[in-house]
Amino acid sequence: MTAPEPAVRVRIDLAYDGAPFSGWARQPGLPTVQGSLEEALAVLVRRDVRVVVAGRTDTGVHARGQVVHLDLAPEEWRGLARGREEDPGASLGRRLTGALAHVLGGGRRAQGLPECPGAIVVHRAGAAPAGFDARFSAVSRRYSYRIDDGAGGRDPLTRHLTWWTKDVLDAGVMAEAVQELVGLHDFLSFCRPREGATTVRKVLDVSVERDRNGLVVLGIEADAFCHHMVRSVVGAAARVGAGREDGDWLGRRLAERVRDARVLMAPPHGLVLEQVRYPGDTALGERAQRTRALRDPVHRD
């Protein structure tokens, strides 16, 4: 008897504007990025589909470099191609774009929601290498956060993507202060803890600088992030930049391992998931196994 063909694991790279959605994760009765993507996929595959995401994002948070995976039966994968010579991945990317246009247009209108065509963009889709897991194979995630303190003049066209603060910020002081966060630490002071889950994370890189438009941009890369970690770090760094706390405050807060009202979260709309990094193809499976053993499911920010 011939053994059945294994399922095809599919990787999809996408970007989205988080403003029209109640976060990434599917929630009954609420418009979400996951719900919209899975609704579009169901149109193509003709069954309910569930995707696994590299990093869940909260309401209002955006992504330029999000990654998901899903598993399809071999016949479903081959059936995505419209022509004998067409690559199923290329076909999936093209057809998913069309299905999303319907879901984000007429589909939302039918639910009494504002249409948001183009709010989810598929960059590429294709069969994933053996062992790939969008969540557990990742070695790091990189976020950016933009703050407008008026130094370059307020730009009303970017108000939905930047945190407008009345404080004048010293980006240089902030850049020095956040270096205390680099390395392996318990980030309990900057996270919303969840029962049974660790708040230990490894920050690989963090920076603060002004861009050419005068915005203060904080960038941070870590192996993973606790719930609300980046927004709490931004809020704390902004207090230092405004002169409300001294330059050593972030390091002291980190060592205290106590979450309290002294660390306030920055609003979500300035936060963007920029990139998810993975090891080489031969190390994907090993990385996924090691991550599962070390940590409960990776939390979102």
Distance CA(216)–CA(169), nearest Å, equals 8
Distance CA(217)–CA(173), nearest Å, equals 13
| Backbone φ and ψ of 17, nearest 5° | -90, 115
Q: Which member of 13, 17, 58, 149 is catalytic? A: 58
Q: Which residues contact 93 (CB under 8 A, 6 or more apart)?
A: 12, 122, 123, 124, 125
Catalytic-residue membership of 58? yes
CB 37 within 8 A of CB 51: yes
Alpha helices in the chain (DSSP H): 33-45, 74-79, 88-102, 108-110, 171-177, 229-241, 249-256, 284-294
Instruction: Provide the 8-state DSSP code for 105.
Output: I
3-state secondary structure (DSSP) of residue 15: strand
CB 68 within 8 A of CB 135: no
3-state secondary structure (DSSP) of residue 99: helix
Distance CA(173)–CA(247), nearest Å, equals 7
Catalytic positions: 58
